[in-house]
Amino acid sequence: MKQSPPKPRNTRNSGKEKVISMKKPPSRAKPKMFPLPKCPTGIQGLDEITGGGLPRGRPTLICGGAGCGKTLLAAEFLVRGTTQFDEPGVFMSFEETEPELRANVASLGFELAALVRRKQILVDHVRIERSEFQETGEYDLEGLFVRLGHAIDTIGAKRVVLDTLEALFASLPNEAILRAELRRLFRWLKEKGVTAVITAERGIGQLTRHGLEEYVSDCVILLDHRVNDQIATRHLRVVKYRGALHGTNEFPFLIGDDGISVLPITSLSLNHKVSNERIATGIPRLDAMLGGKGFFRGSSILLTGTPGTGKTIVSANFAHAAARRGERVLFFSFEESPQQIIRNLHSIGLRLDPLVKRGLLRFHSARPSLYGLEMHLATMFKEIATFKPQVVIVDPITSLMDAGTDSECKAMITRLIDFLKAAQITTLFTSLTQGGHALQQSEASMSSLMDSWLLLQDFEGNGERNRVFYVLKARGMAHSNQIREFLISNHGIDIVDAYIGASGVLTGSARVAQEDLRKAAVLTNQQQAAGLKREVERKRTAIERQISGLRSDYESEAEELRRIAEQVSSSTLMLTTERAASSRLRQADTNVVASTRARATHNGRANS
């Protein structure tokens, strides 16, 4: 066993050093009670649940029923071990041959063949057919040990997978020998210091069909594939992890095109960072309603509404505005295909396709019933992780709720929101309500998770339906308390003040009619005022005319008076001169006096 294997290459040594250096801290920091060394799997989420990975240098049992992903989990453990942690691995398969295995993991994007070629992974297919051999007398499984040992030494493996060891129970008739040998095998693996993963079929009433958990007691992971309401979901649970804290819940996981991802979201805590930045909604009037600046970045926004109230349009506006600012937007649509959304929004003058082309806007459309809630969640996580958006839109979240029970949904949305908030992603959820207030209440549980809540509503009356819109809540900002009417036209969204009067809120044509009434009233008032003004003017001119008549009367009388006065004064003057003359002519005839008086009278008349 020592001389024959070609000595492993340098990588092995470096790998070993790494292991040693990783192992060192615990021994040095003894008073700190450092937990046992872990071997990271590199599988999304699993390391978080297990607090860092599988127990290093010890065997781990992975059990589960048929088709729940045991082999894939084991294979991913090896592949990620080589690619991410530089730890070569041996895959000893008792069921699948190497080409089969290669093909199976290739669908997850793992290039097993290349890794095998580079001697980072060694696949050993152990084929053992019950019909092809006889047993007689005593034996042991030293051959298996030799093979495994040889394989480990050849590539300097740190990780070992035994994929379904239980196949031996079917092949080897002598169970007593087999059990003794398995016990020895696990001890031997520990001595070798390799981190081993052993898969086993789920048994009835016990974890594995042949009670392997009896031998592998350091870490047991149970996989489960459950069908609930016709939708299958895979679950993973760490049943046991000796010497370490671990998540005990059942965690949903999924097998996607880049391997397994487990969703350990409940481990997240509620202390994410918050931003004071505000982002515009794409609807200026709505921004104005939200204290003039829009939503907080990283907040979660709920947009509820009955069918046809324009939820998708509002969310698309939000998406459009964000993408125009150069942010990446991920739009999850569970009702419409991307093309349909693009076409429909084009009809209101919103062009989304250039943004899609520029890679700022990405759609992800899926039918809610396509797979289970957790699968949806996992897919969304993956999309978010790969696209790294600043804004996420889920339209509508209620479609997803049909895929699970209420509590599941709430848990899922909590996870989603936690995840998004931790990443400072602003999220807009639309939610379809069936109308009526009872449903609004049932959504209250969801709303407690939301920072802002906008309500779109239908107002029915006058033989028409109109949309109104208000801000139900907006944490951390002053916001308008008013109902606004929400108009959708060729030019997009328009928010106008709804008419609020004695008869309640008026919308649509009623609002228009009311506006007309108001206009008519104003017009009449104006006309009345003008009439009155004219009347006043007329009166004024009449009075003025009267005044001027009176004045002219007065003036003529005054003239008369003056004339008379003049006459009087001139006649007086004449009298005095006549008297003077007569006194001068006293000596003259009285007839002269008489004729002079007549002449004076004549002169005075001519004078006047």
Partner 1 sequence: MKIKKVKGKSAKARESQIWQLRLYVMESTLKSEQAFANLKQFCETHLKGCYRIKVIDLLKQPQLAKGDQILAIPTVVRQLPKPVRTVIGTLSDFERVLAGLDLRATT
Contact residues for partner 1 (CB under 8 A)? 1, 3-5, 124, 126-128, 132-144, 146-147, 149-150, 168, 172
CB of 126 or CB of 412, closer to partner 1: 126
**Minimal distance, residue 165 CB to partner 1, in Å:** 11
C-beta contacts of 131-139 below 8 A and 24+ residues apart: 135/172, 135/173, 135/174, 138/177, 139/177
CB of 177 or CB of 268, closer to partner 1: 177
Question: Residue 259: which H helix or E strand, with range?
Answer: strand 259-262
**Minimal distance, residue 3 CB to partner 1, in Å:** 8
CB of 12 or CB of 328, closer to partner 1: 12
CB of 138 or CB of 257, closer to partner 1: 138
d(CA 209, CA 212): 8
**Minimal distance, residue 103 CB to partner 1, in Å:** 21
Burial class (CB in 10 A: 0-12, 13-18, 19+), 341: buried
Q: What is the DSSP letter of 397?
A: H
Amino acid identity, position 400: L
CB of 128 or CB of 568, closer to partner 1: 128
Lateral strand order in the sheet of 195-201:
121-125, 89-93, 159-163, 195-201, 59-64, 219-228, 231-241, 250-256, 259-262
Residues 99, 181 contacting (CB under 8 angstroms): no
**Minimal distance, residue 132 CB to partner 1, in Å:** 6
**Minimal distance, residue 430 CB to partner 1, in Å:** 59
CB of 90 or CB of 391, closer to partner 1: 90
Tokens 């069936």 sit at which residue?
434
d(CA 226, CA 242): 27
Q: What is the DSSP letter of 272?
A: -
d(CA 91, CA 147): 12
What does the chain come to in residues? Answer: 608
CB of 141 or CB of 401, closer to partner 1: 141
Q: What is the DSSP letter of 547?
A: H
Burial class (CB in 10 A: 0-12, 13-18, 19+), 509: middle
d(CA 165, CA 61): 11
User: 441: Cβ–Cβ under 8 A, 6 or more apart, which residues?
Assistant: none
CB of 181 or CB of 327, closer to partner 1: 181
**Minimal distance, residue 77 CB to partner 1, in Å:** 22
CB of 3 or CB of 27, closer to partner 1: 3
Residues 473, 299 contacting (CB under 8 angstroms): no
**Minimal distance, residue 174 CB to partner 1, in Å:** 9
CB of 5 or CB of 203, closer to partner 1: 5
Q: What is the DSSP letter of 119?
A: T
**Minimal distance, residue 58 CB to partner 1, in Å:** 23
**Minimal distance, residue 160 CB to partner 1, in Å:** 15
d(CA 98, CA 120): 15
**Minimal distance, residue 203 CB to partner 1, in Å:** 23
